[in-house]
Structure 1
């Protein structure tokens, strides 16, 4: 194949039958190159925290692919470049499950370098003692130990990954780190100057339909009078201005809103420090139609004003 034949058709000069030359696509090359995603390759020892590191990047907005054969990494980057900026950052986890593909990794990296792709390799390391303890705690064999001991699998994996470790841009030793400390290190490297984002779901619900199983925090609005017993308010929901005003003007309602919003700010700051990225606040009343809906809307507005990305869900509002 000649160099001309190897060029993408869109990049070659084309000539019409009448001799006029048509667009080759070169004028958009700069825009195409600008759309090439940033790439992080996550690898390292089994049990050293690859999944935690990958989850951290996912929470920071990266598109994460687990166990992708290294030979397919350039293809994944190319697909990201075609996403018109929707996939700006890709993280790929490469581990011993794909060990037969490691021979292709250097060729793939050379291909990416030739394209001008910004890429980094993150290698998760840990001591033999720490890895043995972790495998024993979950009572699972090491992927490479075969009929031998866990330490045999660890030794085999170290040898297999030796060259990749030497090429790594960032090596993190997790021997003495817990999950939160590893997430903090990843945040420090990849979150930039911005504080890691916290996303909150504020969910109204009715106690008579059961507690939300995914709630992190639950508050009870049944200490307020129920608009259900006000005939002119009964047909409406807490989204109605008259219902909302009725709920918020009850004794203790505004005080509760102010104090609980302050408490949520304190909790949100702690969640960020501990690496927790998602929280669900469940706000309940009897039927999930009036009081909980009105208070959920107000709490969500307070959280959003504090920079927390917030979604409001009214689980039981439409039930009879």
Structure 2
């Protein structure tokens, strides 16, 4: 007899009614660091857990989406899940919605229900409820998505399954040079060319904004600290709004002429201030540093 897979990570089975939001929930889990496998036959759960055990921390949290697309194989899910519960940190998330809401959603996308065959959408929904009844009863968490839009469901999923202390939003602060073009993926752009350029200082020209000498020079200029304080005050409600809307990442671009001095120094200073916002993880990238 083979050994049970070791409990090295958290395993979540995502299932429920077609049209209730499985894809939205799966995407939200993936955005928060889960390894998501879609349309997994229940028989493949054990090999997946064994793989998770072998790779250890490299695959710590696994979510498997299981649904009626598996046909008759779905009937084995309750027994398979029960066999694995004792040896693994396994939970089942069941997504549900009212019949009326599900009918409206299928009509909006103009797609048939996977079980309606020659019948109506409602016939398919009723048959799916029958097949999933025992799975719903054995689920750890049931979420009714009737009154939720996709953003609200994503936020609800994140609230339920994000790791304690995990960031709710990640921001990249990107320094760049205007002469090389605006970053295409920037959500916000700020221009540091209102500050004197260290390039015209012989003792600073060869240095970059990462050096203490250039940083001190830039931050000592009139308007520099005022800009930082005001910009943090302006950006904070935006980031908090991103968190509420489950937008997982944003890019704040900070530019100067060549992307070597002012934008670099101000990006680093801005990052130090934004890191104080709860639930935010900040990283800094310098796009044009090192260009001639």
What TM-score, normalized to structure 2?
0.87
- Segments of structure 2 that go 5 or more residues without pairing to the other structure are none
Match runs of 1:213-224 below 5 Å = 213-224=184-195
3-state DSSP of counterpart to 1:202: strand
Partner residue in 2 for 1:23: none
Determine the C-alpha separation between the residues in 2 that align with 1:230 and 1:218: 26
Partner residue in 2 for 1:110: 82
Partner residue in 2 for 1:76: 48
From 145, 148, 165, the counterpart of 1:177: 148
How much does 1:280 deviate? 1.4
Determine the C-alpha separation between the residues in 1 that align with 2:80 and 2:50: 12
Match runs of 1:243-262 below 5 Å = 243-262=214-233
How much does 1:277 deviate? 2.4
**Aligned in 2, Cα 1:291/1:139: closer, same or farther, shift over 3 Å?**
farther
Partner residue in 1 for 2:113: 142
Match runs of 1:173-252 below 5 Å = 173-191=144-162, 194=165, 197-252=168-223
3-state DSSP of counterpart to 1:159: helix
From 6, 12, 17, the counterpart of 1:45: 17
| Residues 97-137 of structure 1: CA deviation (Å, up to 9, x unaligned) | 32342133234213303x42232211111123322333333
Structure 1 stretches of 4+ moved >6 Å: none
Tell me if the contact between 1:197 and 1:277 (Cα under 8 Å) persists in the aligned partners. yes
Higher relative contact order (CA 8 A, sep 6+): 2
Tell me if the contact between 1:36 and 1:77 (Cα under 8 Å) persists in the aligned partners. no
From 69, 73, 77, the counterpart of 1:101: 73
Partner residue in 1 for 2:60: 88
**Aligned in 2, Cα 1:146/1:319: closer, same or farther, shift over 3 Å?**
farther
3-state DSSP of counterpart to 1:83: helix
Q: Which has the larger radius of gyration?
A: 1
Determine the C-alpha separation between the residues in 2 that align with 1:223 and 1:251: 10
RMSD between superposed Cα atoms in Å: 2.7
| Residues 132-181 of structure 1: CA deviation (Å, up to 9, x unaligned) | 33333334443444565544443443333233222222211111112333
Equivalent residues, number: 291
**Aligned in 2, Cα 1:154/1:205: closer, same or farther, shift over 3 Å?**
farther
**Aligned in 2, Cα 1:317/1:193: closer, same or farther, shift over 3 Å?**
closer
How much does 1:37 deviate? 2.1
Match runs of 1:229-308 below 5 Å = 229-306=200-277, 308=280
Tell me if the contact between 2:178 and 2:259 (Cα under 8 Å) persists in the aligned partners. yes
Tell me if the contact between 2:22 and 2:65 (Cα under 8 Å) persists in the aligned partners. yes
**Aligned in 2, Cα 1:276/1:7: closer, same or farther, shift over 3 Å?**
closer
How much does 1:42 deviate? 0.6
Tell me if the contact between 1:187 and 1:196 (Cα under 8 Å) persists in the aligned partners. no
What TM-score, normalized to structure 1?
0.80
Determine the C-alpha separation between the residues in 2 that align with 1:288 and 1:260: 19
